[in-house]
Structure 1
Amino acid sequence: MRLSGKKALVTGSSRGIGREIALRFAREGADVAVNYRGHAEEAEAVARAIEGVGRRAVILRADVSRTGDCERLVAEAWQALGSLDILVNNAGMEVQAPFEAVTEADFDRVIGTNLKGTFFVSQAVVRRWLKHERPGRIVNISSVHEELSFPGHAAYCAAKGGVRMLTRDLAVELGGRGIAVNAIAPGAIETDINRDVTADPKGRAQLLARIPLQRLGQPGDVAAIALFLASDEAAYVTGSTYFVDGGMTWFHQE
Structure 2
Amino acid sequence: MSELADLLSEDAIALDLEVDDWQGAVRAAGALLEKTGVADAPYTQSMIDNVVDNGPYIVIAPGFAFAHARPSEAVHRTGLSWVRLATPVEFGHKRNDPVTLVVALAAKDDKAHTRSMAELAKVLANKQIKQRLDTATTPAQVLKALNSVDEKPAKAAAASTPEPARAADADDAASAASPDDKKSTGKILTVCGNGLGTSLFLKNTLEQVLDRWKWSQYVDVEATDTISARGKAKDVDAILTSGEIARTLGEVGIPVKVIDDFTNTDEVDAAMRDLYDV
- TM-score between the two structures when normalised by the length of structure 1: 0.32
Structure that is richer in helix per residue: 1
- TM-score between the two structures when normalised by the length of structure 2: 0.30
Q: Bigger radius of gyration, 1 or 2?
A: 2
